[in-house]
Amino acid sequence: MRIDIVSIFPDYFAPLDISLLGKARRRGLIEVHVHDLRQWTHDRHRTVDDTPYGGGPGMVMKPDPWGEALDAIAPGGQSADAAPRLIVPTPSGRPFTQAMAVELAAEPWLIFACGRYEGIDSRVVEEARTRMRVDEVSIGDYVLAGGEVAVLVIVEAVGRLVPGVLGNADSVADDSFAPGSMENLLEGPVYTKPPVWRGRAVPEVLLSGHHAAIARWRRDQALRRTAANRPDLIAALDPARLDERDRQV
Ligand code: 6GU
């Protein structure tokens, strides 16, 4: 997968050199290019923002540098299955979910456009849509100072799902929200050695070697934790996918 990130603060993306994604980059599984938007300005002050039409507080990012940046990074001519997909982080976007992470992990090429201030002139997304798929995406119901941290979140969630990035031992099927049996459920508690710590024993079933009983216990715990922390998710569970034991939890 190729990832291009455009920002006025390229230094935000230093963490992509370390840990799981850093290793995936060194192994050639993910190719990341971070671009400074100001390279597509032409005035002495390298201006990227201006006052909003219609008045109001704050500044809006000018369309010109963004148009030139997208032209330079994605000049076009790609076949349909190699075309880039543009992701624009904004608190006004559609909610980013695990399902969207799974979808994006199958793409060959993602471009992220990080806005600052009050956002990017709307014509940039409008025009980009004539040439590529564009998604405006929000990572939650709060406001960040810019899209950079949201892009780090999205790239980490997507990158770990790119085939080969995780070892087989770290199967993503048990993740909270993973499509399948964990859909709309939160993962329950986990334990490791020692078997007793400060007088607290590990739940016995986990030491039993009884795989069906362990799976059942884990599902009970997932249901309890989801009910406690995310009652909205319990309400959205498909009743057809609940068995008798689920109903007793
Ligand atoms: Cl994607 N961007 C910004 N600036 N703020 C956010 C967000 C994104 N998602 C939630 N808040």
Of 167, 189, 210, the position where a domain reaches its end is 167
Which residue CA neighbors atom 6 of ligand 1 most closely? 91
Domain co-membership, 108 together with 120: yes
Of the chain, the percentage scoring pLDDT greater than 90 comes to 84
Q: How far is CA 131 from CA 85, 127, 134, 205, 229, in A?
A: 10, 7, 9, 55, 42
Which of 136, 137, 139, 154 best tests ligand 1's pocket when mutated (most atoms within 8 Å of CB)?
Answer: 139
Predicted confidence (pLDDT) at residue 169 exceeds the cutoff of 70? no
**Is there a binding annotation on residue 22?**
no
CB of 143 within 6 A of ligand 1: the answer is: yes
Q: Tell me, what's the pLDDT at 170?
A: 67
Contact between 53 and 122 under an 8 Å Cβ cutoff? The reply is no
Which CATH number goes with the domain that contains 194? 1.10.1270.20
Checking 122-128 for CB contacts under 8 A at 24+ apart, the result is 123/63, 124/61, 124/63, 124/66, 124/67, 124/70, 125/86, 125/88, 127/67, 128/70, 128/86
**Is there a binding annotation on residue 144?**
yes
Q: Which atom of ligand 1 is nearest to the CA of 142?
A: 11
Domain co-membership, 117 together with 222: no
Total tally of structural domains belonging to the chain: 2
Domain co-membership, 131 together with 213: no
Domain co-membership, 100 together with 163: yes
Which of 7, 144, 154 best tests ligand 1's pocket when mutated (most atoms within 8 Å of CB)?
Answer: 144
CB of 98 within 6 A of ligand 1: the answer is: no
Of 167, 199, 215, the position where a domain reaches its end is 167
Q: Tell me, what's the pLDDT at 232?
A: 96
Q: Tell me, what's the pLDDT at 240?
A: 87
Q: Which atom of ligand 1 is nearest to the CA of 115?
A: 4
Predicted confidence (pLDDT) at residue 178 exceeds the cutoff of 90? no
Domain co-membership, 73 together with 116: yes
Rounded to the nearest angstrom, the distance between the alpha carbon of 99 and the centre of ligand 1 is: 18
Rounded to the nearest angstrom, the distance between the alpha carbon of 138 and the centre of ligand 1 is: 5
Of the listed ranges 2-11, 14-23, 73-82, the one predicted with least confidence: 73-82
Annotated active-site positions, please?
A: 91, 118, 160, 175
Could you tell me the residue range of the domain that residue 151 belongs to? 2-167
Predicted confidence (pLDDT) at residue 199 exceeds the cutoff of 90? yes
Domain co-membership, 150 together with 182: no
CB of 149 within 6 A of ligand 1: the answer is: no
Domain co-membership, 10 together with 125: yes
Domain co-membership, 93 together with 210: no
Domain co-membership, 160 together with 184: no
Domain co-membership, 73 together with 186: no
Q: What is the mean pLDDT of residues 187-203?
A: 98
* 131 vs 158: CA distance, rounded Å: 23
Other Cβ atoms less than 10 A from the Cβ of 184: the count is 19
Q: Tell me, what's the pLDDT at 135?
A: 98
Contact between 1 and 17 under an 8 Å Cβ cutoff? The reply is no
Q: Which atom of ligand 1 is nearest to the CA of 144?
A: 5
Q: Tell me, what's the pLDDT at 241?
A: 85
Helices (H), 137-188: 148-159
Which residue CA neighbors atom 1 of ligand 1 most closely? 89
Domain co-membership, 73 together with 179: no
Predicted confidence (pLDDT) at residue 60 exceeds the cutoff of 90? yes
Domain co-membership, 7 together with 63: yes
Q: What is the mean pLDDT of residues 160-183?
A: 84
- The interface predicted TM-score of the complex, written ipTM, equals 0.93
Which CATH number goes with the domain that contains 24? 3.40.1280.10
Rounded to the nearest angstrom, the distance between the alpha carbon of 86 and the centre of ligand 1 is: 16
Q: Tell me, what's the pLDDT at 49?
A: 97
Amino acid at 41: T
Supply 125's token pair: 């997304």
Contact between 7 and 114 under an 8 Å Cβ cutoff? The reply is yes
Rounded to the nearest angstrom, the distance between the alpha carbon of 3 and the centre of ligand 1 is: 19
What pTM was computed for the model? 0.94
**Is there a binding annotation on residue 142?**
yes
* 63 vs 38: CA distance, rounded Å: 12
Q: Tell me, what's the pLDDT at 191?
A: 98
How is 195-233 classified by DSSP, letter by letter?
A: SEETTEEPPGGGGS--HHHHHHHHHHHHHHHHHHH-HHH
CA nearest to 19, candidates 148, 159, 154: 159
Of 167, 200, 230, the position where a domain reaches its end is 167
* 141 vs 150: CA distance, rounded Å: 12
